[in-house]
Chain A
Amino acid sequence: MTSTNSVTELPSTRTLAITTMAAVAVAGVVLVTLVLPAEYGVDPLGTGKALGLTAIANPSAGPAVTAPEGATAVTPVVEGPVGRYAATYKRDAVEFTLGPYEYVEYKYHLQSGAMMLYSWSATTAVVHDMHGELNGDPNQVTSFNKSTRENDSGAFAAPFSGLHGWYWENPGGETVTVKLTTSGFYSSAMEFRFDKTKVPHDVSIP
């Protein structure tokens, strides 16, 4: 009877220590040259930049998207439910004091399809007519909403290019104040007073 007694030799403590040190060293090199640049953008040796790894840590948003062809600051290009413009919308806030039986008109230059949000309020009920003038021609007026009320708020999409805005009339013997706030893609505003004077208004970018 024979017997085979095979014994695998275990590494010595010294060999284990050297191997562990070598593994730690390799891991450290990988950490410093590859992981830190790629994960955190930390690149002390420049290897991340050389290998293009820092771009992984700092991804860009891609090229800037410009306005679609055909859009201007006041003319939208409609893409489904979105109308896109080539510039920021504008904002305006004005206040009018109307003496007894006086009226005022305040209108914005809006291109066809351009949007505007608005809110106005008066200290007492006033005769109001929201209307538009095709290409600014006072003989081609379309009334959109006409009534006597103290306030109104809404969103307006210009059905045609021209002047769009409001007529407010004080129907009584007491002074009335009307306040209007708007934001939208208009180019300018004009006030038409009952005494036939016209006052241009600047509109601001928010």
Chain B
Amino acid sequence: MLRRMIGFTLLVVLMTVAAAPLSAAHDEFRIIGTVTKISSTEIAVKQKDGKVVEMDINKQTKFTRDKKPVKASEVKVGGSVVVDALGDSILDLTVLEVRLVPAITSAK
């Protein structure tokens, strides 16, 4: 009986630990500005307040222009982008989508 109780308790603990990453809440961030750095794994965007935000790129990241998919290679340094990314903070973001947009005049 005691063995079964211990086994059940361990099972619950293991399931809880395994499920933790799935239930962790991520906020969606929008970063608007000009590209200062781009690689296959990372993009850096300078916002209009002058702050540069670095974000991870992965295989799920989409690149679009006018809602149509484009190649990642079309993203150039100096180009205007709208980036939607997920993460716990602005220091730890993974890009969902990079939208290539016309030059944003109000962006510094």
- A binding-site residues for B, Cβ under 8 Å: 99-103, 139, 173, 175, 194, 196
Contacts and interface: CB of A to CB of B under 8 A. Distances in A.
A101 B31 CA distance: 10
Contacts, number: 30
B82 A101 contact: yes
Contacts of B82: 101
Grouping DSSP codes into helix (H, G, I), strand (E, B) and loop, the A interface class, with mixed when no group exceeds half, is loop
Contacts of A173: 101-105
B20 to A, nearest CB: 16
B29 A100 contact: no
B106 A100 contact: yes
Interface in B54-103: 82, 90, 99, 101-103
A196 B102 contact: no
A102 B104 contact: no
Contacts of B105: 100, 173
B30 A100 contact: no
A194 B29 CA distance: 7
A38 B61 CA distance: 86
A137 to B, nearest CB: 10
Nearest to B81: A101
Contacts of A101: 30, 32, 82, 99, 101, 104
